Amino acid sequence: MKILIIEDEPDLLAALKQFLEGEKFIVETADDYFLAMEKVGTYDYDCILLDIMLPNGSGIDILKQIKKLNKKDAVIILSAKDSVEDKVLGLDLGADDYLAKPFNLMELHSRIKSAIRRNNQDGEKSVDFKNVKLFFEDREVLVDGVELILNRKEFDLLYYFMIRPEKTLQKTSLAESVWGDHIDQADSLDFIYSQIKNLRKKLKDSNAAIDFQAVYGIGYKLV
């Protein structure tokens, strides 16, 4: 899943990025207000880690913009300002959680997983579609109770579709969510076809009751 870290402290930003990439997240970063506003207006994220105090602007204004755009990204505020007023303001504006600096990385990881679970899975630990059950936090997929072995990108692809069953998904949004923001600079998105082809074969071989349907000129949907 894709996370955006909005943080202006270089050492903390680097530490968060390294830690979360180690936990198999795709991590994008922004170290000032203007870059952060550009990213939240252009791309979608599963979770945004938002510092309040930023060069050139406030994280609170970024949060307001996220809600103004009706974006569904989960937001966790990270701030050295641990006043009750800041917490209340952030949560009232629609933030999913608030964590005061300094914080433990494992606690942050737990809160990210909880925020994503609430946002994408209605709080459930698994996502179910037909005879396929996917556990996001354990990165496990079962077909009729039997484990299906997937590589990292195959799992991420399947999860992206499983939380949006029967919906046509554009290739560009699919690529950005699974491979990262930079993918919009690629000359071609043909690699998505190969990934889905491999995943379809594994699902078929395991007798999964789900499949991918190509929607000409747009993308794919899980049926």
The tally of CA atoms less than 13 A away on the side-chain side of residue 9 is 13
Residue 82's pLDDT is 64
Strand 57-58 with 53-54, pairing: antiparallel
18 versus 218: the higher-pLDDT residue is 18
| pTM (predicted TM-score) | 0.84
> At 69, which helix (H) or strand (E)?
none
pLDDT 10s digits, 144-179: 999 999 999 999 999 999 999 999 998 888 888 888
Closest residue by Cα to residue 178 from 157, 192, 158: 157
pLDDT 10s digits, 81-140: 666 777 788 889 889 999 988 899 999 999 999 999 888 888 888 999 999 999 988 999
What phi and psi, each to the nearest 5 degrees, are found at residue 70?
A: 60, 35
pLDDT 10s digits, 47-94: 999 998 898 999 999 999 999 999 889 999 998 766 677 778 888 988
All structural domains of the chain, each given as residue ranges with its CATH number in brackets, are 2-121 (3.40.50.2300), 126-222 (1.10.10.10)
pLDDT 10s digits, 22-53: 999 999 999 999 999 999 999 999 999 999 88
